[in-house]
A and B are shown apart, each in its own frame.
Chain A
Amino acid sequence: MKNVRILVVIMVILLLSNAMTFAAENDLKITEKVKIALIIPSTIDDLAWSQVMYEGIEAVQKKYGEDKIEIEVSERLWNAVDAGSAIRQYASQGFDIVIAHGAQYQSVLDEIAPDFPKTSFAYGTGFATHHPNIFAYDPQAQQGAYLLGIMAGLKTKTNIVGIVGPVKSGDAIKYNIGFEKGVKSVNPKAAVRIAYTGGFGDFVAAGEIARTHIKAGADVLSGTAQQSVGAIKVASEFEGILWLSSDMDQCSIAPQTVLASQSYRFDEVIEKIISFRQEGIVGGKHLELTLENGFLEIVYNPKLVSVLTPEMNKVLNEAKTKIISGEIKVELK
């Protein structure tokens, strides 16, 4: 009996030490304060693209403490020229990492980065890093979109699925292609209708597109950009309509309508950048957010998740496993 007790104690100690080692491997050792500046096109509470990045940095600050991570934010700088002066100012003030959160900032960073070789600049969605101190982060939106598309294809009764798009470029086009392929993979008969507003921040127009989709027969909708909040709100005014979100968990907007969301783990991206800097690498890396590396995940609405039957979940899990293993490649063609 005594031997058994000793064995249990040893097992517990081993388990704890393993857990601690695991935690230590995943955590960074930050000795000097890391100053991070964030430039965003909308606001930190847009419930979409800008907020998810802000919350990612905030999560890193929470993890390591305010004495280790400092955050400064400049909002509403959708205009890349205006953003340029803010980016230069932050770099001049000695910020270690300056994140310009949008594809539109790439050329501005290309101009500014050579003047501040010790500062790391980051932007996304993008892949090109023209200078050794620029990181490009790149959510593979088509991967999560494919899974959300499967949900749409399985749940639609009218066989009409609608997408409320911002503009036909960047993340949105990746998302739309992935989503449509996901729908068709399980329901080839379903029609995927896409309509764009022509911008990112017109909540009223997004709402009107959602309304037009629903009146034209769509019963499952999806969309990207901060304006999708307007579309979700309109969708929630109709009975039996489901919405599938991107960028971040949007269940709180309409708990009876938003079934699931593709969420970007920008906290992981930030930690990755900090860890590169600790290795002396200040940029030049293309950082992908994928289902494989866990930087991209699907978040389900606990109030609605029961609408997915075990068979549907099986299909979803299989598809996710295949995407992670590379058996399914969601091509952008």
Chain B
Amino acid sequence: MILDFIIGIISAGIPLAAPLLLAGLGEMFNQRAGVFNLGVEGIMLMGAFVGFLVVLTVGSPILGLLAAIAVGALMGLLMAVVTVKFKAQQGISGIGLFMLGWGLSGTLFRVYIGGITSITGIKPFSFPLLGKIPIIGEIFFQNNILVYIAFLLVPISWYVLNKTAWGLKVRAVGTNPQAADTLGIKVERIRFQCIILGSMMAGLAGAYLSIAQTHIFADNITAGRGFIAVALVYFGRWKPAGIMWGTLLFSLAHALQRSIQVYGINFPYEIAVIIPYLLVIVVLALSYKSQLLGPVALGKPFIRGSRE
């Protein structure tokens, strides 16, 4: 019974971490380049809608995912133009992007689909042999392909950020854009690239929810997960592994509180549903001393020749 309880929590928690991880890793790139994008939620909604629409009409989940990534790139381009080119305040621009994505996805949903309908989408699959291993098989080898991609992106993101020339430029642009500029790094170009990359991953995260998780699209299907992903970037100290642990902690805590309720453990549900949020705040508070500084230039528009 207890073993089933624990397996149930872990096997439910891991797939739920995937969309947060995809969006969080993407947000990490643009934050490391000095731009925070609060529009992740809106991009996820558009990714969820466009991906769903393509799967519904064409029938191909791969095309659906690609379409979601493409719409993410377009929304990222918009965010980049507004915040990098026109130097608009990043927080407000992000909120605007969120509202655009929310409104547009809901309207297009009504125009092109008209009501709640479902698709087959991407299903979990069991690895041959590995999937049949007791306990471990159920937890690690019976998920959908996007879960593995999301977790694989953790070391890849780390490598790109820390071991490639482009990653070095990203970090330089986010820490001291003026110095980076004097070294010949094109600050605005790097920021454009990072915002677009982050938004593509947010689009993919949205598509995860509609194509791989629920197999439906509904108005506001993300229900705040985009904002959670942004918060988890701070939680993870702008590091891929930190973000991964944050998303896992959050998702496992959610799975735990659901199991507590379902198994009828005598515990007020009002407290249960806030456990994940409490836990994240507590961990953040306790790890205050060990925190590294975030990207110094985060939130500041780059103006060539200025001291800031």
Contacts and interface: CB of A to CB of B under 8 A. Distances in A.
Contacts of A268: none
Contacts of B273: 196-198
A333 interface: no
A136 interface: no
Residue among B114, B116, B209, B254 with most chain A CB within 10 A: B116
A233 B212 CA distance: 12
Interface stretch (A116-124, A200-208, A282-290, A298-306): A200-208
A209 B258 contact: yes
B261 interface: yes
Nearest to B102: A76
B213 A253 contact: no
Contact of A233 (B106, B216, B258, B270): B216
B269 A168 contact: yes
Contact of A211 (B12, B110, B218): B12
Given A43-B106, A45-B114, A216 B8 contact: yes
A254 B106 CA distance: 22
B263 A193 contact: yes
B262 A76 contact: no
Contacts of A205: 223, 254, 258
B255 interface: yes
A233 B215 contact: yes
A216 B218 contact: no
B157 interface: no
A153 interface: no
A196 B262 CA distance: 9
B16 A229 contact: no
Interface string A253-279: 110000000000000000000000000
Contacts of B270: 168, 198
Interface in B236-271: 254-255, 258-259, 261-264, 269-270
A204 B15 CA distance: 12
A45 B223 contact: no
Interface in A22-67: 42-43, 45-47
A195 B261 CA distance: 5
B214 A195 contact: no
A216 B2 CA distance: 12
B157 to A, nearest CB: 24
B116 A191 contact: no
Contact of B262 (A43, A203, A212): A212
A148 B223 CA distance: 29
B51 to A, nearest CB: 15
Contacts of A76: 106, 219-220
Interface residues of B, number: 32
A242 B258 CA distance: 20
B40 to A, nearest CB: 16
B223 A202 contact: yes
Contact of B223 (A199, A216, A254): A199
Contacts of B225: 204
Contact of A47 (B116, B223, B255): B116
A229 B116 contact: yes
B115 interface: yes
B221 interface: yes
A85 B166 CA distance: 50
Given A168-B269, A208-B12, A213-B262, A253 B118 contact: yes
B25 to A, nearest CB: 19
A191 B274 CA distance: 26
Contacts of B221: 203-204
A192 to B, nearest CB: 9
A162 interface: yes
A204 B218 CA distance: 10
Minimum-distance CB pairs A-B, first 9:
A195-B261, A198-B273, A202-B223, A45-B115, A212-B262, A196-B269, A212-B258, A195-B262, A43-B219
Interface of A: 42-43, 45-47, 76, 162, 168, 191, 193-199, 201-205, 207-209, 211-213, 215-216, 226, 229-230, 233-234, 237, 253-254
24 contacts: A42-B219, A45-B110, A46-B116, A47-B115, A47-B116, A162-B262, A193-B262, A193-B264, A196-B273, A199-B223, A201-B220, A201-B223, A202-B223, A203-B216, A203-B223, A205-B258, A208-B12, A208-B16, A208-B255, A212-B8, A216-B8, A216-B262, A237-B215, A253-B118
